[in-house]
Structure 1
């Protein structure tokens, strides 16, 4: 049996990114599909009883967070042209 290090495993994983992309999409589809059959007992929010609600909520929240953080970083960390030439 061949032993390998974590670096070798990650190196092999980087050589085939399409496989890992398919695996992640498969897991996402599986979880949303399970949400169709597993209903929450008592939904606390109006949309919570709909299949895939939390998946859509997470996607929207993630995109919003990325845009807000990118804008904040640009505003607070951005410097004018020639700032470092002084």
Structure 2
């Protein structure tokens, strides 16, 4: 027969990751909960990557908003210049 893998809920995984982030070691968590160290490392890495991706997107959004504000300001300047040149004719 094939080996069956144990399934953990997302809440349980998040609890283990939080305990690790608060200072518990993989060995301590393994002793307490019986979860393989490699499994916990995957959860911690996945959580870290998820957070890093979000932060990168937030900075990208801020950059886009800043560029948008500059373009709107330039657009207003061009509208005013156009109205000045239109009156001269």
TM-score (norm 2): 0.35
Which structure has the greater CA radius of gyration? 2
